Amino acid sequence: MTTQVTAREGRPAPVDGAYEGVPDYLRRPLTRWLENVYTITPDMLAPDMDEAALERLAALLRIDLRGTDGYGMLSGILAWIDDDDERLLDVIHYTLQIPTLMMKRWEELEILLAYGSSTWSATGKGLQRRVHPTALEAWDTVIAVPDNASDHLAQAWTGAYGRHPHPASAWHHSIKAVEASFRPLVCPDIPLAPLSHIIDELKTGQWRLQVRGQTRDYAIDPLIQMLELIWPDPNRLASGTPEAPATRVEACAIVQLAVAIVQWSRDGQVVKTSASQETEITRV
């Protein structure tokens, strides 16, 4: 977004950087965006407010609005925010998700956050950590397919990049997404095959990638190595060796890896070879 804006000749570009909280120059614009969402009729003396939506927001965030109505309800929520960055971001996050009478225009909010170098990005489903557009486009493409793997990838992405990250959930659902994608291909007779079983089957020598690789033998090994980065889950309860919890940085890497692997599966990049094909590959 901000790469489309260039500095004036002879002048330095605005200082770049990612802000976790809410810098002073963004506080008023973000508050104004909130006011526009909940204001139905912008009457200076008695604005008509979306009281039902304000009540939903207050219930979600446990804000006591007793004795208020109309604009007083919004004022009570803004008073609850005060100068607390995290509270303001939470209010925006939940506002993006709850039903409201007015259009939220989250795209306008996203432009504002991007120009302000916020680490947070606005979506129709709340705030999430800003990621490189290429990674976001790959994820959008994968989850556009309505299946179980996409459902798990959506949950994994929220666990890694959501407003309240949950690395363990991100890792868990990344594994579930890969399992859901590969079971019909690799283990069609084992509906609940775990990723460990899928990896073992890929090691039997019967599988090839549709990418020739450095040695030009279409080896499956690179995919196996990618899967072994995901498995086993360090957060699993059955582990006999306790490990440190997964970090958000690890979770982000695992989710992006799962996105690529699921796409490979859907694109037919993994194939089972026959005996004659094995001989032909060996000759090549």
Residue-level pLDDT at 199? 94
CA distance 284 to 191: 35
Structure tokens at 99: 């039903």
Asked if residue 80 has pLDDT above 70, the reply is: yes
**Distances 217 to 210, 214, 275 between C-alpha atoms, Å:** 10, 8, 15
Residue 18 has pLDDT above 90, yes or no: no
Identify how many contiguous H helices and E strands the chain contains and give both numbers. Answer: 12, 6
pLDDT at 3 over 60: no
Average pLDDT, the chain: 87
pLDDT the model gives residue 134:
83
Q: Is the pLDDT of residue 269 over 50?
A: yes
Looking at residue 24, its amino acid is: D
Sketch the domain layout of the chain as residue ranges. 15-129, 133-283
pLDDT at position 274: 65
Banded model confidence at residue 202, pLDDT cuts 50, 70, 90: very high
The answer to whether residue 167 scores a pLDDT higher than 90 is yes
Asked if residue 191 has a cis previous peptide bond (ω within 30° of 0), the answer is no
Degrees, nearest 5: CA angle 131-115-250: 20
Find the length of the chain: 284
Nearest to 60 by CA among 100, 113, 112: 100
CATH for 133-283, options being 3.30.200, 1.10.3470, 1.20.120, 2.40.10:
1.20.120
Tokens of 219: 């080896």
pLDDT in tens, 41-71: 877 667 799 999 999 999 999 999 999 988 8
DSSP 23: -
